Structure 1
Amino acid sequence: MAPSLPLLAAATLLTTTGPAVLTAPPSAPARPAVATGTAEHQAAPGAAERRRVLRYWTPRRMAAALPAAPLAASLPALRAPAGKSTAGAVWTGRGAAGSVGRTTGRVFLTMAGGDFVCSASTVRSASRDLVVTAGHCLKDGTGEWADNWIFVPGYRDGGGPYGSFTARRMFVPRQWSQRGDDSHDVGMVALNPRRGRHVADVTGVQEIAFNVRRGGAAHIFGFPADPPYDGRRLVYCAGRPRPDPHGQTHDQGLPCDMTAGASGGPWLAGFDARTGRGTLTSVSSFKYTDDETVMYGPYLGAAAKDLYARAQRA
């Protein structure tokens, strides 16, 4: 994981400085596999482990945590065409319109000896304990799983009114766990209840859908923490996603200047600003090294649907 890089594409990071260089013509991405699988990790299921994780996150550690970015891989890089980027705006919805401000939260985690931040969202599930985030916010591709993982819903200016929820079990697609495949950079976490209450009963949920028509309008939310943002407020962009023009992934991209820390934030289709509700159809995943104007998110297809089927009852 490269903490200083803003949401960079795992598939295209050959260098962290200067423009990417075209070293070979890209091959078309493989058709998504029909056979899918899930990698799982038990996080902090016991009371003692939960207490340890909560004690770990002192205000000082939270303030010092760095925004997470996907790990690099040695695939050929492409120069992405520069485009206009939609500036993120702070979400100010109150009352009913504030629903997305409750269901979206900031994530704190430890990986490879460092402390990091991401974003995540609650979704409807059988267990009422499920949140969705980016795969790289749970597992460093083929590397290690995250530790000290907590979700702080409704985060704002250094804290959250609903407390912190610890992770019980983590789930990522095998395509992410075994290959670090950006097309499958999604993860799900079954949370421990807090003081006997499920997160869905505390904050409400967003809906979630799979295999939806591509190109539909979306609002994307998150807590970007690299400049010009500081991770203290919920930010959003809105627009109509388009396919990855490089053919490197099956992802869709949306012009947005959000930075690292927004990783894992929800992409909500059919978003109603009056209610603050929509349907989660993707999460923020990466940006190409030499075009930080477009945010990319994975298409939630068969693998993500299988992931959800397993995670929602954990």
Structure 2
Amino acid sequence: MTLSTPLLAAAPLLAGLIGPALLGAAPDRQQADPPDHRAMRHEIVEHVAARTTAEQRHVLDYWTPERMAGALPIDLLDSVKGGAGLLSGLTGRTGVRAAPDVSSRRLTPPDDGVTTGVSGGGLATWLWGRTPRHQAAAARQDRESAPKRPETNTVGSRWITGGAVARTTGRVFLTVRGADFVCSASTVRSANRDVVVTAGHCVKDGAGGWAANWTFVPGYGMGGAQRFGLYAARRMFVAGPWSRSGDDNYDVGMVALATSGGRHVADVVGTQEIAFNPARGGQVFGFGYPADPPYDGHHLVYCAGRLKADPYGQSRDQGLGCEMTAGSSGGPWMTTFDLATGKGTITSVSSFKYSDDQRTMYGPYFGDAAKALFDTAEHA
């Protein structure tokens, strides 16, 4: 199957600005079951990120307001070039997946995009600028897609009701191969009160490297982007099939966070429930921080509707009618969601779209492999 890049968002590469090496990096440790085929799917690959207080402070200091504000969609990074040519594998191979009969490898950028060359450190990147038309479109979308009450069927609306989901969902800031990106994630109820769930490609570049400077900002935009603090990653976990080959059926990441101001993230913003091996189909609410127009990454957006199977049979993932764009990757999908309290049960996360159907988002099924990840992360 032909695949493309993740639904993340990236900041421009500036002259001489290459992200620091992974802090506190340690050799990946695989907790392997007996070598039968089923057990191989339940391998857990762990990465130690920022272990000490000094390392965690270094990560948080990296994210200046300017770096956070500069995030741009990652689906433009096939244009990043180096001395050896195209670095199309910069961010992993998941995200906008080409359908079996579609040759395009990515979403087409807006027709009115403005290309701007930025060079530095031997790299040149062509990024689509946000034109006044884009800004106007974002403002119009904010007005038109913010209903007075939550809807149970929407392909992308501002979440303005508040409740627990507005605090537990947050933006993730990370660095991969010197480029800065954004994703989405959610806190989950865990024994150590530190776990967030996101997409695997928001943690590790498939068979490539791990993300650096990984930071979670819960409740982003609620009375200030950092109202509830910033939380650096201390340990990261992905499934073996994702780490070995970027298998989209296992595009799930669990991250154990460091405390912020001495407090666990769960004690500050609360958590959502998480469940595994749920019945397929049914109603779901998906949340995230899309950053590509008509969205701007500063508002929590949601999609709601019934799940359907992958029509191409290319994955075991399920699809949700959803027009959220780059930056929404890793955002939680919740069943049994209470519109009044904003609490639900997470059973998937936003992962990829087919290039010929940009109105449907797909998310991995949370089976035994996802449960093994969670069980390990909550005791990390």
TM-score, structure 2 normalization: 0.70
Which residue of 2 is the match for residue 242 of structure 1? Answer: 308
CA RMSD of aligned residues (A): 2.0
Out of 45-54 and 157-166, give the one that drifted further.
157-166
Counterpart check, 1:51 vs 2:69: no
Which residue of 2 is the match for residue 104 of structure 1? Answer: 169
Q: Is the 8 A contact 1:224 1:230 kept in 2?
A: yes
CA distance in 1, matches of 2:274, 2:38: 21
Which residue of 2 is the match for residue 138 of structure 1? Answer: 203
Gaps in structure 1 of 5+ consecutive residues: 9-31
Q: Is the 8 A contact 1:6 1:226 kept in 2?
A: no
What is the one-letter code of the residue matched to 1:92? Answer: I
Q: Is the 8 A contact 1:68 1:263 kept in 2?
A: no
Offset at residue 112 of structure 1 (A): 1.4
CA distance in 1, matches of 2:99, 2:322: 21
Counterpart check, 1:147 vs 2:209: no
Which residue of 2 is the match for residue 78 of structure 1? Answer: 100
Offset at residue 196 of structure 1 (A): 1.2
Which residue of 1 is the match for residue 43 of structure 2? Answer: 37
Which residue of 1 is the match for residue 192 of structure 2? Answer: 127
1:258-293 residue CA offsets vs partner (Å, 9 max, x unmatched): 001000000000000101000000000000122111
Of the candidates 215, 239, 258, which is equivalent to residue 192 of structure 1? Answer: 258
1:181-240 residue CA offsets vs partner (Å, 9 max, x unmatched): 001000000000111111000000000000000002100000000111110000001001
Gaps in structure 2 of 5+ consecutive residues: 9-36, 76-90, 103-152
Of the candidates 151, 154, 159, which is equivalent to residue 225 of structure 2? Answer: 159
Q: How does 1:180-259 map to 2 (within 5 A)?
A: 180-259=246-325
Q: Is the 8 A contact 1:239 1:254 kept in 2?
A: yes
SS at match of 2:155: coil
Offset at residue 77 of structure 1 (A): 4.1
SS at match of 1:150: strand
Which residue of 1 is the match for residue 112 of structure 2? Answer: none
Offset at residue 68 of structure 1 (A): 4.7
What is the one-letter code of the residue matched to 1:132? Answer: V
Aligned length: 280
Which residue of 2 is the match for residue 269 of structure 1? Answer: 335
Which residue of 2 is the match for residue 312 of structure 1? Answer: 378
Of the candidates 182, 186, 199, which is equivalent to residue 117 of structure 1? Answer: 182
Q: Relative to 1, partners in 2 of residues 1:227 and 1:6: Cα closer, same or farther, differing over 3 Å?
A: farther
1:41-94 residue CA offsets vs partner (Å, 9 max, x unmatched): 011010111111111000110011234566237x984248xxxx9431111113
State percent identity of aligned pairs: 62
Q: Is the 8 A contact 2:47 2:236 kept in 1?
A: yes
Q: Relative to 1, partners in 2 of residues 1:67 and 1:76: Cα closer, same or farther, differing over 3 Å?
A: closer
CA distance in 2, matches of 1:162, 1:67: 25
CA distance in 2, matches of 1:123, 1:192: 15
CA distance in 2, matches of 1:194, 1:263: 24
Which residue of 2 is the match for residue 7 of structure 1? Answer: 7
Offset at residue 6 of structure 1 (A): 6.5
CA distance in 2, matches of 1:204, 1:72: 33
CA distance in 2, matches of 1:251, 1:50: 35
Larger RCO of the pair (alpha carbons < 8 Å, separation 6+):
1
CA distance in 2, matches of 1:72, 1:168: 25
What is the one-letter code of the residue matched to 2:183? Answer: C
CA distance in 2, matches of 1:269, 1:34: 28
Q: Is the 8 A contact 1:68 1:118 kept in 2?
A: no
CA distance in 2, matches of 1:6, 1:178: 17
CA distance in 2, matches of 1:267, 1:77: 23
SS at match of 2:67: helix
Which residue of 2 is the match for residue 24 of structure 1? Answer: none
Counterpart check, 1:60 vs 2:128: no
Of the candidates 132, 156, 162, which is equivalent to residue 88 of structure 1? Answer: 156
